[in-house]
Structure 1
Amino acid sequence: MNTSASPLEPETLNWLNQLPEAVVWLDKEGQIGWCNPVAAALIPDPNPLGKRLENWFQPVVRESRMHEPMNAGWWQGSPQKGLLGIAVKRWRWFQVSLAPFKNGQLCILSEVTREYNQALAYHSSLEVLSSLLTQEEKLEELLMRVLQTAVEVVPGAEAGSLTLLENGEFRFVAQIGFEDSLIEHSLGYNHELAWYGLGEQDWLLGKPRLLVSPHIQERTKNHISHELDMFNQVGKLEELKATVTVPIVLQGQVMGTLNLDSLTSTEAFPPESLAIAQTFALQAATVLYGLLTRRKLSELALSDALTGLGNRHALKESFPKMKAQAERLDLPLTLIYWDMDGLKRLNDQYGHAAGDQALKILANTLRSVFRQEDQIFRIGGDEFVSLHLALPLSEVPEMVRRVRSAIHVEVSAGAVAITPLQDLQAALGQADQAMYKDKRRVRNSLEL
C-alpha cells in the first residue's frame, strides 16, 4: 500500500501497520484514504483507495444479542461502534470502532466471526425453544427451521440435511441445497453409523465429524453402496467437497443426524464450525425432547388413568375424524354405548378396588373382542363408548353377544348408525336411550 500520500504521520503509520486488526482511514466523503496491510489483505480489491468501505462491508441487520448492528450511514457522524459483515468465500464479521481523525474517520475492524456465529447459534436455540413451547408446529417444520438457521450461521455451510430415526432407519426429514426427492429416503442404522465413521462411542456422545472429498465419495461407496445411485442423483454426492455430521443424541440414544455440507471447498469448515454445528444438533435434540414430552402429556390428557382407554376428550377428537373418514370412503360408522351393570353394588359389597378391577376386565374384554381399527373410550364411571368403521348396525348384536360371553359381569349396550348430519351429542343421546332399553330388557329377563 502506497503511504506517500497518506494524511497520517509516519510514527502513526508505523504503529497502525503493526496492529493485528484491520485499520482504515476514511476521508470526509467516506472514501478510503489509507489502510494497513491487514485491511489491504481483507478487502477484495487490489486498489481500494478512493472507494467506499461499504462497497464490501455491510451493516448487520439481524441483532445477535451480543453485538448491535450499525446504523445506516455508519461511516458518518460521531464516534460509534457496531457490527459489519463481509462475504468473500464465507461471511466474516467485524466489530467496528469509528473515531474522528485528521478531517476524516479512523476505522478499526476487529474480527469477531467465531463469537458472533456462536451468539447467533444460541440466540437461534432460544427462538426455537420458545416456538416449541408456545406453538403447535409440526416436527418436520421445527427441524427445518433448525437446519435453515444452521446453514445460515455455521461458517462454511452451503447446504445440509437432517435425518430422524424411525423404525430402525434414519429418514431424511429436511434438506437445503439438494433435490426435493431426497426427503423420504432413508438409511439403516448400521449404514448411518458407518457413514459417520468415528465409532459408536463418539456416535453416542454426539461428537461432530468432518469429512472431505474424495473421502466422502469413497466412504459412501464402501459403506452405503446400495444407496449410491440415490446419493449421486438427489444428494449431489460428486459435488460435495466437505461435510460435517453431528449425531443428534437424546437420552443416551442417537435419534437423528445433522449434516452440513460445502459444495465449493474442502477447506470450507474452520475449527469453530464443528462446535457451532454441535449447538444446532443440541437444538434438534431439544425439539425432539419437547415434542415427545408434549405428546406424552397430550396422551395423558386424552386417556383414562384406570383403563388406559381414551377418555371423553379423546372421543370428542376422534368422532369427527372417523365420521369424515366414513363419509369419504362411503362406509357405515356405528357408535355403541356400553354400561356395566351393578358397579355400585360391587363397590358397596367388596370395596372400590373390586369395582376398579371389574372395570379393567371390561376394558380388556372390549379390546380383545373388537377389531384393531375400532376405538374404545371410557367416558364415565361405568360407561364406555366404542366407534366402529365399516360395521353395519345389523352386526352389533353378535358383537355384544361375544363381549357378554367373554366377561363375568353384566353389560348393557345400545348402538346407533351415524348419519351425515348427526353430531356426537345427538349420537350419544340416541345410543344412551338404546342402552337403557337393553338394560330394562336384561332386568326383565332376570326377574322372569
Structure 2
Amino acid sequence: MLRIASTALFAYMAWLVYTLLYPEGIWSWAAPYVFVVTVFRLLSLLVFLVSVTTIAGLLSLVGAGAAATNELVIGLYNTLILRMWYLQPYGVSGPLTSAQEVFASIQGSILTLALSLWDQAFIFLYFFCAGVGVALFLQSLYRLEHRFVGGAFIAIQSILVVAAFRNLGIPNFTVFPTNFIEFATSSLQILALVSFAYLEVSYQMVYSYSVGKPVEDREETLKKQLLALRQATRKQAAIEREQKISSTSMSRSSGATVFSYLREAIERQVLGDKDVLENLDAISDVRRLQHYVDDLLEQDPQARDELTARAAAPSQSYVIGSTIVGSGIRLVSVVLLSFVLLNPRIFLSFLELPPGIANSVELLQPEIVLLLLVPVVLLFPFAALVIGWVSKDEEIEELEMTDAEREQIRIREERKKRLEERGEEPPARTTKEEDDWDAVLEETFGNNA
C-alpha cells in the first residue's frame, strides 16, 4: 500500500514539474538527440583541426613546400568535411580553395557549435535529471533504501533549479500572500506539499520494511530450525512414553520462560543442522524437546506465533494507522509553520513593534524571512545532533563500566523494585560512599532479609 502511495505521489510531483515548465517550451523530445549530435560534431571538428594542424607542421619539417601543404589541407577538408553530414560546417555551400579559408571555416563552425551546445545543454539537463529521478525512484521501490528516495527527490527538484539559472518562469512568490487559502492553493505550495508527502510516505515505506524484514527473516530461520528438529527426531527410535515432558499443568508464565529458552537454543544453533543433530550425544533431550513443542502447539494456538517471533511484528492496521496520523500531523505542521515563517508580519505582530517598524518595507525583504526561517530549520538537525551525542556518551559509559559497577547497578534496581512493591520510597542518598555501603550491605544481607 505504501509503495502504491509513493508511486502515485512521485508521478504527481513529476507531472507538476512538467506542467510548470511546459509553457516555456523546453520539453522538446528531440533535445537529447540534438545534444548528442552537437557534441559529436564539435568533437569531430576539434579532432580534424588538431590533425590537420599536426600534418601541416610535419610537412613543413620534412621540407614540403607551401603548395603541397595547401593542397593536402584543401583535399582533406573537401573530402572529409563536406561529404559527411555530421561534419558539415555552417555557412559553407561549396568546396574551398585555400588553407586559410579552411581554418577560418573550421574555427567559425567550432564557435557556432559551442554556442549552440551551451543552449542545448540546459535542455539536455532537464531530461537528464528526469531520467535520473525515475531510475532512482525505481531503485527505491526495489531496494527500499533512504538514499534512493532522497536521490529521486533531489533529481526532480533539480529541474527547477536548472530552469532558474535560465531565468525561466518558474513559480515564485513575488509578493507573499497574507491570505492562508491563497497561500495553500498556490501552485508553488501544492508542489511543496506533494514533494513533502512523497518524502514522508517513501521514508515510512523504508522504515516499515526495515522493521518488518528482520522479523520475517527470524521467523523463517526459526521455522527451518524447527523443521530440522522434527526431521531429526523422526529418524530416531520411538521414545518411551514416560520420557515425554508433560506440559498440561504449565502456566503461561512458565511457558514464556520456555519460549525464551527455545529461541536461545535455536538461535545459537544448539539444535544445528541434520549432520550435527545426528551426532548429538544427548539425543534424548532433543527428542523430549520435540515432543514438548508438539504438545505446546496443540494446547496453545498462539504458541507458533510466539516461537517464530511473528507476534513481535507490528500489525498492519497499526502501521497504517500510525503512518496516517503521524504523516497528517507533520503535514499540517509544515503548512502552518511555513505560512507563519514566510509571512513575517504575522510572526512580528505578536511582538507589538512600533508602527514605523511594523509597516516598513524592509519586512517584505527576503532577509527577514531568512532571519526567521534559518533558526527554525537548523533547530531540528541540532536537536538530532544533541540526542546522538547523549546516546553515544551513554553507550561509551556502559562499555567502560566494570563488572562490579554493573553488579552494583543491578542490586540497586532490584532493591528499588522491592521497595516499590512494598509501597515504600527508597531512602535518599547524599554521597557516593553511602551508595557503595548500601550496595555492600544489600549484597551481604539482602537474601536473609
TM-score of the alignment, normalized to the shorter chain, above 0.5: no
Greater radius of gyration (CA): 2
TM-score range, shorter chain: under 0.3
Identify the structure with the greater helix proportion. 2
Pick 1 or 2: higher relative contact order, CA cutoff 8 A, min separation 6.
2
TM-score (norm 1): 0.23
* Larger proportion of strand: 1
Q: TM-score, normalised by structure 2?
A: 0.23
